[in-house]
């Protein structure tokens, strides 16, 4: 009555578009952040985390 059933419920195949979309969004947001950090407007801003890591080296 309780426990595992005889049929399996598909999980990965119906969720595949959401997994692919998540990976694409994470990748594109990362690329946008990198582009913004390296832009001329924020290149010399003291709040820029890339500038702080360059000073440490």
Q: Which domain holds residue 45?
A: 24-56
Q: Tell me which H or E stretch contains 31.
A: helix 12-37
Question: For residue 2, is it within any domain?
Answer: no
- Calpha distance 15→21 (Å, rounded): 10
Question: For residue 12, is it within any domain?
Answer: no
Q: How many domains does the chain have?
A: 1
pLDDT at 37: 86
Question: For residue 14, is it within any domain?
Answer: no
Question: For residue 47, is it within any domain?
Answer: yes
Average pLDDT of the chain?
A: 85
- Calpha distance 47→57 (Å, rounded): 17
pLDDT at 15: 95
Question: For residue 32, is it within any domain?
Answer: yes
Say what the pTM is: 0.65
């Amino acid at each position: 009555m309780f426990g595992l059933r005889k049929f399996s419920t598909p999980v990965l195949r119906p969720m595949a578009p959401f997994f692919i979309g998540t990976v694409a969004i994470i990748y594109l947001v990362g690329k946008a952040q990198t582009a913004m950090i390296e832009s001329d407007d924020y290149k010399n801003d003291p709040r820029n985390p890339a500038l702080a890591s360059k000073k440490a080296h």
